[in-house]
Structure 1
Amino acid sequence: MDVMDFCFISLGSAVVVYYGMKVFFFSRMLYIKLWFPLSKSFFTSMGEWAVVTGSSEGIGKAYAIELAGQGMNVVIVSRTKEKLKMVAKEISETTGQKVIVIVEDLTEENIIGEIEDKLKDLNIGVLVNNLGILPSRIPCRYLDTADLDQTITKVINCNVRVMAKMCKIILPGMEKRGKGVIVNVSSGMACVVCPLYTLYSASKVFVERFSQGLQAEYKSKGILIQAVAPFGVSTPMTGNMKADMVTLTAEDFVKTSLQYLRAGDKTYGSICHTVLGWILQSIPLQLLHSQSMQDGLTELVKKRLGE
């Protein structure tokens, strides 16, 4: 065997091993309860309280209700008082758990210190950073975004700054107790370069990298930190699109995503979104970024939103 043959055989073997490992890790997602089981007391063992931002509706509300159903008391945080009161009432009546309502706009610069004061005496075992906004419901080019200067500030404050600040507030207590869970809600749009959602997807890339970095830093401290990156979920932010095989209800998505907590520092939160992410990452960027694909995406979203 000459050197060239050896190189080709080695390269072929490496490719087979690489894709074999990818298939193996993907297959584990099909049997999540077998590979990554959670005990019934998993969440309550982390601490007495869960904190969920952006919890007045949609995914945040679903996380708050589900964690209360797991036996945790819940702090729900949003700027919409009436909606938060309704969520608190629903949690209290259906689960019997305690609920603390904090009505604040977390994107305001001076609010984080006040939030820290309100949370300082609580044994917080779970933090869900769900707060986030889209620059526009209908995908559009960056410069076509309405009120672009204001939108840039809102997206960065809401999707990036608040998440980092909430981790700063709650992570020290988890480190001291040697346990805790932080779930940072990213987006499936962060898995590829996503034109027409450029600002939003870029902000969610930060969420993923921040979460993965924190997990590497604090995993040895007994803290589980994960970015969860859904694609379509029927929520007010997405115009309450009709649920189907790809677009999940907030309740279904949250229930499945919590089962993936031990599946890595980033997951898509459901098997259908995992498959969709794999497919998107397999499409050549030249095709994905073509003008016809961008036009088709815009029309698809308009149709699904009924616009």
Structure 2
Amino acid sequence: MGSALPLGSLPAAELFYWLGVATLTWLSLKAACRLLSGARVFVLGAGVEVGRFGRWAVVTGATDGIGKAYAKELAKHGMSIVLISRSQEKLDQVAKEIKQFQVETKTITVDFGEGAEIYKIIEAGLAGLEIGVLVNNVGISYNYPEYFLDVPDLDNLINKMLNINIMSVCKMTRMILPAMVERSKGIILNVSSASALYPVPLLTLYSATKTFVDFFSQALQAEYKSKGIIVQSVLPFFVATKLSKIRKPTLDKPSPETYVKAALNTVGLQTQTNGYLPHAILGWITTSLLPVSLVIKQSMKMNQGLRARHLKKLKEKGD
């Protein structure tokens, strides 16, 4: 019997055949692992019981959308809630809604776009509280997709978006994490965005800030996991909120309540999560099956369409 031919001596057609088999096998195994992991998290699994990490939960950007939904869902788990946002009227309304769960509420009124001075106010408001969960949710995006240099009032938006989307996450974590480490337990949930999974043209600054949140969260989890701390990066696709300008929930664009209920069940199971099964499937497709260049191209095309429709509406109003 003859010995097997070395790889370098195989005919080109046969070489490409075996490379194809190896690639297909690898992709199939990778897909199977992702599917099994998804089933474990979204079908079979349940996250940690958040209430055992401390009496209070702190939620930034708590008066609308995902932030409000986190506040209510955590209250259902018996946690008292600190609501932080810029509108006292809206804070009072959410606090009133949460009282049905028979938990305490506390409100702190600040505008995260104003910079470092607000954190003295927040720190004073949180003094003495045993904080088990921090939800860094506050964030802003563009009013509509736009080329970077054409964004209205660009210099102001840069400062505001960096303060709200990045500075708030760092400062709130710096404020609350030490006590969690001292007690050897705590949960930090940082709401990023699916736009952090790949660059999104015409939402360039927003996408970049959310990538910071994702990387910051994953690295922080690696640093403090051994201290009993859970840090999770939450990367939703579209959710029916004021920020996304989607009014009617659908299967792939859920209500904030549906999304957060699912996302909270992933805490302790995934460091980086899309939070909701249909979003996890979208995340798998866009990061594992499709080339990044194609995803960027399609994002560009979609946002150019949204931009054109927005500018057309503005022109019609002007006329």
Measured after TM superposition, the shift of residue 14 of structure 1 is 8.1
Match of 2:79 among 58, 65, 72: 72
Q: For residue 121 of structure 2, what is the aligned residue in structure 1?
A: 114
Would you say how many aligned residue pairs link Structure 1 and Structure 2? 301
Q: For residue 100 of structure 1, what is the aligned residue in structure 2?
A: 106
Measured after TM superposition, the shift of residue 62 of structure 1 is 0.5
Q: For residue 90 of structure 1, what is the aligned residue in structure 2?
A: 97
Question: Deviations 1:5-24 (Å, cap 9, x if unpaired)?
Answer: 79977996587356514422
Measured after TM superposition, the shift of residue 289 of structure 1 is 3.7
Q: Is residue 31 of structure 2 the alignment partner of residue 25 of structure 1?
A: no
Deviates more, 1:50-59 or 1:3-12: 3-12
TM-score, length-scaled by structure 1? 0.89
Measured after TM superposition, the shift of residue 4 of structure 1 is 1.8
Distance 1:112 1:11, change over 3 A: farther
Q: For residue 127 of structure 1, what is the aligned residue in structure 2?
A: 134
- Given residue 35 of structure 2, which amino acid in structure 1 is its aligned partner? F
1:8-23 equivalent positions in 2, closer than 5 A:
16-17=25-26, 19-23=28-32
Quote the Cα distance in structure 1 between the aligned partners of 2:9 and 2:46: 43
1:139-178 equivalent positions in 2, closer than 5 A:
139-178=145-184
Contact 2:133 / 2:187 at 8 angstroms: preserved in 1?
yes
- Given residue 286 of structure 2, which amino acid in structure 1 is its aligned partner? L
Quote the Cα distance in structure 2 between the aligned partners of 1:6 and 1:118: 73
Q: For residue 60 of structure 2, what is the aligned residue in structure 1?
A: 53
Contact 2:200 / 2:300 at 8 angstroms: preserved in 1?
no
Q: For residue 316 of structure 2, what is the aligned residue in structure 1?
A: none
Q: For residue 4 of structure 1, what is the aligned residue in structure 2?
A: 7
Quote the Cα distance in structure 2 between the aligned partners of 1:217 and 1:285: 29
Measured after TM superposition, the shift of residue 297 of structure 1 is 3.4
State the Cα RMSD in Å. 2.6
Distance 1:44 1:301, change over 3 A: farther
Quote the Cα distance in structure 2 between the aligned partners of 1:21 and 1:288: 20
Deviates more, 1:50-59 or 1:274-283: 274-283
Q: For residue 317 of structure 2, what is the aligned residue in structure 1?
A: none
Quote the Cα distance in structure 1 between the aligned partners of 2:308 and 2:69: 26
Q: For residue 243 of structure 1, what is the aligned residue in structure 2?
A: 249
Deviates more, 1:25-34 or 1:237-246: 25-34
Deviates more, 1:103-112 or 1:199-208: 103-112
Deviates more, 1:43-52 or 1:24-33: 24-33
Contact 2:42 / 2:276 at 8 angstroms: preserved in 1?
no
Quote the Cα distance in structure 2 between the aligned partners of 1:300 and 1:112: 36
Quote the Cα distance in structure 1 between the aligned partners of 2:217 and 2:130: 22
Contact 1:52 / 1:75 at 8 angstroms: preserved in 2?
yes
Quote the Cα distance in structure 2 between the aligned partners of 1:157 and 1:248: 28
Q: Is residue 219 of structure 2 the alignment partner of residue 210 of structure 1?
A: no
TM-score, length-scaled by structure 2? 0.86
Unaligned runs of 5+ in 2: 314-319
Match of 1:296 among 297, 302, 305: 302
Deviates more, 1:21-30 or 1:260-269: 21-30
Measured after TM superposition, the shift of residue 90 of structure 1 is 0.4
Contact 1:28 / 1:35 at 8 angstroms: preserved in 2?
no
Q: For residue 266 of structure 2, what is the aligned residue in structure 1?
A: 260
Unaligned runs of 5+ in 1: none
Quote the Cα distance in structure 1 between the aligned partners of 2:264 and 2:224: 20
Aligned residue for 1:251, secondary structure, equals: helix
Contact 1:241 / 1:247 at 8 angstroms: preserved in 2?
no
Q: Is residue 185 of structure 2 the alignment partner of residue 179 of structure 1?
A: yes
Distance 1:17 1:35, change over 3 A: farther
Q: Is residue 88 of structure 2 the alignment partner of residue 81 of structure 1?
A: yes
Q: Percent identity?
A: 39
Distance 1:191 1:180, change over 3 A: same
Question: Deviations 1:242-287 (Å, cap 9, x if unpaired)?
Answer: 2112111111110000011123211101111111112222333443
Q: For residue 274 of structure 1, what is the aligned residue in structure 2?
A: 280
Measured after TM superposition, the shift of residue 30 of structure 1 is 3.0
Measured after TM superposition, the shift of residue 140 of structure 1 is 1.4
Contact 2:186 / 2:229 at 8 angstroms: preserved in 1?
yes
Distance 1:286 1:34, change over 3 A: closer
